[in-house]
Amino acid sequence: MAKIHPKGFEPPYPAWSPALPQTLSYVQAQIAIQNRSGRRDEKLFEALVSKLAEVAGLRHLERVGHLDAQGAYNDIVICYWKTPNAMRAWLSPNGPFGSFVNGLVEDDRGAWYEAIIAPRSHYEINASTPDLNWGLSMEYESTLEPDHAYWGSMRDRISAAEDGGLPGTIEPIVRVSNEGRRRVQVSLPPNICLIRTVQGQSTAKEEEINSYHADMKPQYEKGVQYLVENPIESRCLSARLVHYELPGPGRPNTETIAWFASLADLERWVHDHPTHKAIFAASQAHSTRFAPEMRLLLGHEVVVAPAGCAGAMYIGCHPDTGLLPYFRGY
């Protein structure tokens, strides 16, 4: 299969990817409590974490938070699992998740999950620093990544996506109504694409942090706001700009978790839209300026789901939560 990598191209600055086994599946679920009051409920979140501790198949979890456009606070735990069966068992209506949500009876709160499974051929991870203490990278050593810093490098890092592979299956994108239903389960279509993209400042020096806040962060936030406000046009079905609960070396301060209708739709925004062109230009300038001593963490996981490998459930959530506006559940 052919790569897009330009012949003779040498990246102007380094990037890293974790040295992952070729047999390693990506198994991740975002599990959340939604409080319409806009406040966190620590006691309830602790109960959720206790439920997660009941099983042996969990790799690790990370806590992030998000105040959505409707004023609801989404207290999210990002969970990585050892096997698909371990995650499915925990998320099943008869499993720990089901017993947890049965206790959510108040009108001002709900719960949801969005989950994805993918083989090694369907995902890639890339970052600006070798210290990666988040996501699937947490358990593995980092290695220099040769395929980066050019348009199309994301697709080159996903082997099944080479030569135009993993085409989208969602046509057209239309809003649907699940009104009047407290519990909605959704099976997501083949080749839907998830990106988790992070920004961390914990080990950067003051000059680099100031440069990030002055030049790159404003462009990044404009880009995310465009996705949030234009889901049909951008074909980004959900975008959450969240804060990370425990930033530190190798960890994010903020991140965006977004679902695109396909990898090609993510690429279209990345390659063609003015908001991401501005992000790319700012990040290239930053990386070139501070290389090889750059300490700002910029990284992402991009995952494309095979058929039957992505799904979601929303219980007692407002109708604009996540993917709920675009898929009629059952």
- Residue 92 Cα to chain centre, angstroms: 22
pLDDT of residue 245: 92
pLDDT of residue 87: 97
Mean pLDDT rounded to a whole number for the chain: 94
pLDDT of residue 3: 84
Which amino acid makes up residue 36? R
Q: Taking residues 116-130, what's their average pLDDT?
A: 97
pLDDT over threshold 80, residue 104: no
Task: Return the minimum-mean-pLDDT range out of 42-51, 174-183, 215-224.
Answer: 174-183
pLDDT over threshold 80, residue 158: yes
pTM of the model: 0.96
Residues 231-270: tens digit of each pLDDT: 999 999 999 999 999 999 999 999 999 999 999 999 999 9
pLDDT of residue 292: 83
pLDDT over threshold 60, residue 1: no
pLDDT over threshold 80, residue 2: no
Residues 78-94: tens digit of each pLDDT: 999 999 999 999 999 88
Spatial distance between the Cα atoms of 113 and 329, rounded to a whole number of angstroms: 13
pLDDT of residue 242: 98
Q: What is the DSSP string of 79-141?
A: EEESSHHHHHHHHSTTSHHHHHHTT---TTEEEEEEEEEE-GGGEEEEESSS---SGGGGGS-
Residues 181-239: tens digit of each pLDDT: 889 999 999 999 999 999 999 999 999 999 999 999 999 999 999 999 999 999 999 99
pLDDT of residue 284: 87
As beta bridge partners, residue 117 has: 27
Residues 20-34: tens digit of each pLDDT: 999 999 999 999 999
pLDDT of residue 106: 67
Pairing of strands 236-244, 58-67: antiparallel
